[in-house]
Structure 1
Amino acid sequence: MRCADSDRDLVAEVLNAAFAEGRITQDEHSERMDALWQAKTFGELTPLTEDLMPHGPIHHLPVPVSGQGAGLVVDPSNANQNPDSITCVMGDVKRQGHWRLRRRTTGLVLMGDVKLDLTEAVMEAAECTIAIPCIMGDVTITVPDGVNVRNETTTILGDTKIRGLAPVPAGAPTIVLRGMVLMGDVKVNGPGFVPLTKRLGLTS
């Protein structure tokens, strides 16, 4: 049976997770990725993951990718193909605990405050994009270890800060930040970030 792009994407996410965990080397990752994009049938995909998945190749299982027990998981099974939407106008939006970050999140923050805690979240793809224009508001994203954050925002009298994240290997799950930040702030806080109030001893 011939495979589709969505099948190749699933295998790519398994290979990226295996490389991030150190179960395959960089050369093995490159060789398998080359073979992946040349594959036309499921028979050609099977050997690429059969030694990586606990219940056989290309199995729809969550793939842990975080380090130090941070709890981050990439799980492309049952992924929602529609973009998520977060709209916050002069209000507050919070997402925390166990929730799913879709491949793409859009919306608008206007004079509002959005807090996204990914420490217990599930990413529905190895690369997820958060594209939320922030106008005179604040967006704070808390991420665990083992995640790469790529900043592609456009700032106008605003600021985008990524703090407290350790370097990650190539192929690690990635969050891409996009959108315009106009007189607002977008902050990404990793485990190594210590708030000023705590550094000054004002909070525990």
Structure 2
Amino acid sequence: MTAAGDSHELDRLREAAQARLEKGVGDGKLTLEEYSEQAAIVWSRDVDVERLRRLVPVEAPTAPVSRPQSTIVGIFGDTKRSGRWSLAVKTLALLVFGDVKLDLRSAVIGARTSTITLVTLFGDLRVRTR
């Protein structure tokens, strides 16, 4: 393999290892101290491809895939989406005599663009992005 090929593979492995470390600390499997120590190894100048291969699974992580369509309904009650949830490519929110609250701050958005259509009759609607 050429030096340029090694460099590209090293970059890919570093990014995959970083993603694995972030997931591990997010899932509570790593402490912040363990995360910092391992991230320092991943991004050190002296790390080699073989050491990174041991840290990273063989298959590359896949990007999240959004569902094509989703419907959220609120009738005589409240409907809420918050925390970690997947935003579909097209989302329809129907509201009749109730409230719909959509919190997009922690939503997983896998598509480049998503469309949310909101229809309300005698109710409140809140969409949070920040």
More helix by share: 2
Which has the higher Rg, Structure 1 or Structure 2?
2
TM-score, normalised to structure 2's length? 0.50
